[in-house]
Every structure is written in C-alpha cells, then in structure tokens.
A and B are shown apart, each in its own frame.
Chain A
C-alpha cells in the first residue's frame, strides 16, 4: 500500500439545516484508483467540491502529503495539483474548446495570450482521448453534444501536471468507445503515479479499474475496502443499506439524519 497523497479527516458539511457530510474520512493514495460510490444524494459530489475548494467545510482537516492544507478556493486546489471533472461539467458555452480547456490558466503573457501553443496542446490532449467527432477545436462548446462536452471536461483536467484527479461520473454521457478511453485513461493516470478518484454508478466500471472502493451512505463513509477482496453484492448492499454483514455501519439505529 502506497503513501496517502490526499487525506480527508472528519469532514462535516451542511447546506443550511441539511447535514450532508458526517465526519467523513477519505484517503486517496498515489498510484491507486479509489472509487467513490453511493446512492443519489449520498454526498459524493459535495465531497468532491469540498476538496476542490468550491464549498467550505464546517470542520475536519484536509492533508496533502501528510501536511495539513487549507483549500479555500479552486485556485488553492489547482496549486496543490488537484484537478476535478465536475458532474455538472462547468464549461462556458460561449467559449470554444481550447478556450475552455485553458480557462483561468491561459498560456502566454497576461497581455497577449499564446493561442498557438494552447491550441496545439488542446488538440494533442483531445487526440489522446480519441475524440473523433469534434469538428474543430475552435468550435464553441455550445455546439457540442453532451458526450463531447464531457470529453472536453476530462481533457481539461488531464492537461495539467496534476497529482490528484477527481472524476465525478465522467462516463455518464459517453458512448462505448469513449467510455473505454476514459477507463483506460483512469488506469493510465494511476500507473503514472497520480491519485485518482472515480465516482461512478456503474459497478462493472468500478470493479474494472478501482483498487479501493469507498462507500458513502447518507453522508457517512461506511466502508473503504480493497476492490479485490470485495464482491459486487457487498458493495451494492453497502450502497443501499449502509452495511453488509459485519462491514459498514454497526447498527442501523446509528443512522440518523
């Protein structure tokens, strides 16, 4: 087992009266794919957004390479080398593919951006993801299909020399070939020593690429298990009931909102 790269300890997060994350402990290791699974509304996206600096947390600690860090803004996360593919994509419709991929981190000087270098890098990254249907990298994102947008969002995240990549349901809108590419990419990123978090509802995908499977149940992290020693049905039980045999929550009464 490798060193923890990113560690969340005792994270709590509420939206007003709704307590969405309860004392969540979550670990991402370098060179491993950690799958984060859970039912709709379990709090997976919220957890990702806390790491990304989009939502502040109420309590808990985030450690990066063992050091406690504060992530107050998306920029803090990016500076640490944390990249996120959001479930709701977060692309600007009126900008083209290249402009979106480099948004906030444009190459060249502040007074004169280096368009050629950005365009070439964008195209190479997209080519590696086998996007065959985009007519031009200068197409506005508004004109792309859902799957194409998703690929652009993924390409945007892997463009950078990052340490941790969090992908929130990256294959939800993708076709067979693109899903294959993304799963291969996820493995490749881990083999290159990155810590990868994959959120997915597709158990086949999860078991194919994940080294560890962490299950969120109603905002609590109920289990963090090695994928090899876990069965499909155990995970499904953990997702739906929060427990499976002696795994997960000890007693059902503990689950209060």
Chain B
C-alpha cells in the first residue's frame, strides 16, 4: 500500500476525495484480478467451487456416457432440475438470515396438489376436499391473511386473501388461474411459517421440521393414498416444463437477455465512472458482457437445432420455457436483493441482526417475510416440477426435493451461517445437482446411489462453507 493514490478520481469532488488517502475508485484489470485471487484465498469462494465441480462433472459424465452431452439430454437436464432450482432460489432468502426452511419441499407439494385438484375437479375444491377439509383449508388461509396483516406484510395478506376468494368462489378450471392459486396458497403457508418463527420465536429449524411432516400429511389428505392427479391434458400446465419457445422466440429471448445484461452492466459501469464512484475495470466489464453474449448466443443456437431422437418423425427445437422462467426469477431475485431497501435489510439482518435493529430495521418483519418469499418460490417450483412429471401424487415435494433445494443453494455458494449468498447461487448449484442426478441416471445407477452421492455433495458443500468461513475469520482483522 502506498501513501499516495495510484488512480484516484480527479474530476468530481476533488477536494474531498483527494483528502481520502489511498481510497481508489478504479483499478486496472490486473489489480482487480489480483484482488479477486486474494479474496478467494481469504475464504470468499462464492460460486467458484460449484463452477469447477460442474466442469468436472460434465467432463466425467461425457466420458462415461455417450448420451450425456447430447442436446436432448442437456435440455432435459435443465427441465428436470428447474423445479427444485426455483425452490432453492427462494431458500436463498431464508439462508441469508441464517435460518432454514425444511418445509419448503412438502409445502411445494401442498401447492401442487391444490393446483392439480383444482384442475382435475374442474374448479370445485369443495368437492375435491370434502366439506370439513375445505372449511379447515379456508379458515387456514384466512388465518394466514390475518397473521400477515398483524405482521404488516401486505403482499402476503393480499395473496392469502386471493387464495380464499378463488377457493370460496369456485373459479372455473383454468391453467393460469391454477398457477396463481398455487402461488397464493404458498404465500399463505409462508405467512404462517414466518409468524411462528419471527413473532412467536420458535426456532425455524423446529417450526419447519414440524411443518415438513404436517404438509406431507396434508398432501396425502388432499390426494388420497395411492391417488394421483393427472395434469398432462392441460396444454398450458403441461407445457410449462415440457414446451419450447419457437426458434424466433428463442432468438428474441437471447437478444433480450444478452442485450439487457449488457445494457445494465455497461450502463451502470459508465455512469459510475462518470460520477467518480468505485468501479470495476472497464476491461472486466466488457469481458463479462461479451462472455454472457457468447454463452447466450451459443446455447440459443444449440437449443434451436432439432434435438429429437427421431429427427425425421418429430421436431424438437427451441429454448425450453423453463429457461426464461428461471432467468426471469433470477433477475427479479437479484434485483430485489441488490437494489431495493428490502434486499439490503435482508443482508443486514443476516450479517448482524443487532446492528440492523439499532439501525431502525424491523428485524422480525424481515425475518417473517423471507419465509413468504421462500414459500412463493416453492409454489412456482411446484408448478414446474408437476408440469415435468405431468401429474401430482402424494410424493410431490417429498423424497429428496428439499435436500436438492438446500443443496443447490449451499453448493452454489450461499452460506448456511447467513449474510452471504445470491440467487444465482441456487441456479449454479442446481445445475450441479441436476447433472449428478441426470448423469447417474444415464449410467443406470439405482436411486440408492443417486441419493448417497447427492447427500455427500451437499455435505461437501456445507464443509467448504464452514471451512471458508473459518478462513475468513482468521484472515480478516
């Protein structure tokens, strides 16, 4: 460290800023890369292990199976993992506070079964559930709305009331309405979880463990032992995870995604540069934009090739719908966490709840709200995985759904200790786990092996998290 600034801003506010010693606003690409390496060595690994792991997995599975790196399998892999990946995106919010939502999986199953029942029963939930269960359901939703009002989480209250209205009015079967219903039911359940954790003060681990089992029972009640709700016949519901954009649509998505990314990154970069604020080197900003554009272009091109196993009989081409769904949620989640006050307060509460409280942040409201976010995401995930399966059975959201979702977030780099994490981590970690599941499946490994490997990968990721945290504690200060 030198005493005089290497490259301080000389334009705006030169008086104050030159006074500010070695504070620099911009660095060269070399310095930035050295900084990054230093941060990684200091224990701030981010998604690096996950990306390396993903690379290794792709390499290994490609060598072991001819079918792994085919276009059809890649598209399939994404659609298979999408539902749980979306659940993981919501879980990131909960993990950021150092809390856990063990009920996210079965909660999503409840949403899936209500959605599917509504479709199968032509909108008649009363008939589908039986009157007692139906009234309990309605009372539960009303209670959730009331709790949300008490906590002043307005969005949660509105969504819960929409669920009540839709159920009570018996709106006719319609795929779009059913998806809205699923999300509203999810939000209502999230309000209940959030209230128990944040206002009553029961540890989230216990609340969500209890609810995990409760929701499993509720799903069984809704669907019945051995029952199954087929939703394959609904074109819209089925297409969510099985349909593809047209070739033109795929390219439009590519341009919008890559162009939007470039506009945001470069726009912000040059604004900050102009105002003399801390910026990354222009070279690195440009590199990021070009890399994203290249990846978007290449994958769009690959996914618009006909990937049907029998190309002469059927054509399968276009980017799967789940890709824009995941990208959209990724953008929304990232925006909320990085740009809004709410997101900033989530990080603050996760980093130091007492400091957040002293800064006037309503800590318990933030704590409750993340469970609503997580539950809504779980409901969206439920829509996607139910669509992929084409039906909802009592196992929906059970089995390893939760393991996969928590695993995805943690493997991607979100800390279990709170305060560190991004929505993108869920996507990257989700891809790792989807690759494991899909690759082992192609190698005809039984479920036993898949579960053991998935569990061990999660354990490994949690270990890396704990170790890097320890490392960070040693290297700072």
- A interface residues with partner B (beta carbon < 8 Å): 52, 54, 73-75, 78, 84, 86, 89-95, 99-100, 103-106, 110-113, 115-116, 119-120, 123-124, 126-128, 130-138, 142-146
Distance in angstroms between the alpha carbons of A116 and B9 in the assembled complex: 14
Distance in angstroms between the alpha carbons of A124 and B276 in the assembled complex: 13
> Nearest Cβ distance between residue A205 and chain B, in whole angstroms?
24
23 contacts between A and B (CB under 8 A): A84-B358, A90-B352, A90-B354, A92-B351, A92-B419, A93-B351, A93-B352, A94-B419, A94-B420, A103-B356, A103-B361, A104-B345, A104-B360, A120-B12, A126-B20, A127-B16, A128-B19, A131-B21, A133-B21, A134-B22, A134-B23, A135-B24, A145-B477
- Select from chain B the residue with minimum beta-carbon distance to A78: B360
Question: Could you tell me if B347 and A124 are in contact, using CB atoms closer than 8 angstroms?
Answer: no
Distance in angstroms between the alpha carbons of A86 and B358 in the assembled complex: 10
Distance in angstroms between the alpha carbons of A123 and B19 in the assembled complex: 10
Q: State whether A127 and B358 are in contact (beta carbons under 8 Å apart), knowing that A90-B352, A92-B352, A136-B24 are contacts in the complex.
A: no
- Select from chain B the residue with minimum beta-carbon distance to A86: B358
Q: State whether A120 and B13 are in contact (beta carbons under 8 Å apart), knowing that A131-B21, A137-B23 are contacts in the complex.
A: yes
> Nearest Cβ distance between residue A214 and chain B, in whole angstroms?
23
Question: Could you tell me if B277 and A74 are in contact, using CB atoms closer than 8 angstroms?
Answer: no
Distance in angstroms between the alpha carbons of A214 and B345 in the assembled complex: 37
Instruction: Scan B329-363; emit 1 where CB is below 8 A from any A CB, else 0.
Output: 00000000001111011011011101111111100
Question: Could you tell me if A136 and B340 are in contact, using CB atoms closer than 8 angstroms?
Answer: no
> Nearest Cβ distance between residue B394 and chain A, in whole angstroms?
41
Question: Could you tell me if B19 and A116 are in contact, using CB atoms closer than 8 angstroms?
Answer: no
Chain A residues, Cβ within 8 Å of B348: 92, 95, 99, 103-104
Q: Which of B354-377 contact A (CB under 8 A)?
A: 354-361
Chain A residues, Cβ within 8 Å of B275: 116, 120
Q: State whether A106 and B360 are in contact (beta carbons under 8 Å apart), knowing that A95-B351, A133-B21 are contacts in the complex.
A: no
Question: Could you tell me if A93 and B419 are in contact, using CB atoms closer than 8 angstroms?
Answer: yes
Distance in angstroms between the alpha carbons of A132 and B477 in the assembled complex: 17
Chain A residues, Cβ within 8 Å of B342: 110
Q: Which of B9-31 contact A (CB under 8 A)?
A: 12-13, 16-17, 19-25
Chain A residues, Cβ within 8 Å of B271: 116
Q: Is there a chain A Cβ closer than 8 Å to B138's Cβ?
A: no
Count of CB-CB pairs between chains A and B under 8 Å: 131
> Nearest Cβ distance between residue A188 and chain B, in whole angstroms?
16
Q: Per a CB cutoff under 8 Å, which of A123, A138, A146 touches B20? A: A123
Chain A residues, Cβ within 8 Å of B476: 142-143
Per the CB 8 Å criterion, the residue count for chain B at the interface is 43
Question: Could you tell me if B360 and A73 are in contact, using CB atoms closer than 8 angstroms?
Answer: yes
Question: Could you tell me if B344 and A116 are in contact, using CB atoms closer than 8 angstroms?
Answer: no
Chain A residues, Cβ within 8 Å of B20: 123, 126-127, 131-132
Question: Could you tell me if A135 and B22 are in contact, using CB atoms closer than 8 angstroms?
Answer: yes
Distance in angstroms between the alpha carbons of A103 and B360 in the assembled complex: 8
Q: Is there a chain A Cβ closer than 8 Å to B472's Cβ?
A: yes
Q: Is there a chain A Cβ closer than 8 Å to B471's Cβ?
A: no
Chain A residues, Cβ within 8 Å of B220: none
Question: Could you tell me if B358 and A74 are in contact, using CB atoms closer than 8 angstroms?
Answer: yes
Q: State whether A124 and B360 are in contact (beta carbons under 8 Å apart), knowing that A94-B420, A110-B342, A134-B23 are contacts in the complex.
A: no
Chain B residues, Cβ within 8 Å of A130: 19, 21
Question: Could you tell me if B358 and A90 are in contact, using CB atoms closer than 8 angstroms?
Answer: yes
Q: State whether A103 and B355 are in contact (beta carbons under 8 Å apart), knowing that A110-B340, A123-B17, A132-B21 are contacts in the complex.
A: yes
Q: Is there a chain A Cβ closer than 8 Å to B34's Cβ?
A: no
Chain A residues, Cβ within 8 Å of B360: 73-75, 78, 104-105
- Select from chain A the residue with minimum beta-carbon distance to B26: A136
- Select from chain A the residue with minimum beta-carbon distance to B342: A110
Instruction: Scan B138-149; emit 1 where CB is below 8 A from any A CB, else 0.
Output: 000000000000
Chain A residues, Cβ within 8 Å of B354: 90
Q: Is there a chain A Cβ closer than 8 Å to B272's Cβ?
A: yes
Question: Could you tell me if B477 and A106 are in contact, using CB atoms closer than 8 angstroms?
Answer: no
In the complex, which of the residues A104, A130, A138 has the most CB atoms of chain B within 10 Å of its own CB atom? A104
Q: State whether A104 and B359 are in contact (beta carbons under 8 Å apart), knowing that A94-B347, A132-B21, A142-B476 are contacts in the complex.
A: yes
Q: Per a CB cutoff under 8 Å, which of B1, B278, B351, B361 touches A104? A: B361
Q: Per a CB cutoff under 8 Å, which of A92, A93, A112 touches B339? A: A112
Not counting A94-B351, A123-B17, A144-B477, a sample of 12 additional A-B residue pairs whose C-beta atoms are within 8 angstroms of each other reads A90-B355, A90-B359, A94-B419, A103-B359, A110-B342, A115-B277, A116-B275, A116-B277, A119-B277, A120-B276, A136-B24, A142-B477
- Select from chain B the residue with minimum beta-carbon distance to A107: B341
Question: Could you tell me if A127 and B19 are in contact, using CB atoms closer than 8 angstroms?
Answer: yes
Q: Per a CB cutoff under 8 Å, which of B23, B339, B352, B361 touches A91? A: B352
> Nearest Cβ distance between residue B97 and chain A, in whole angstroms?
12
Q: State whether A132 and B22 are in contact (beta carbons under 8 Å apart), knowing that A110-B340, A113-B339 are contacts in the complex.
A: yes
- Select from chain A the residue with minimum beta-carbon distance to B421: A94
Distance in angstroms between the alpha carbons of A81 and B16 in the assembled complex: 25
> Nearest Cβ distance between residue A54 and chain B, in whole angstroms?
6
Q: Per a CB cutoff under 8 Å, which of B22, B25, B341, B419 touches A113? A: B341
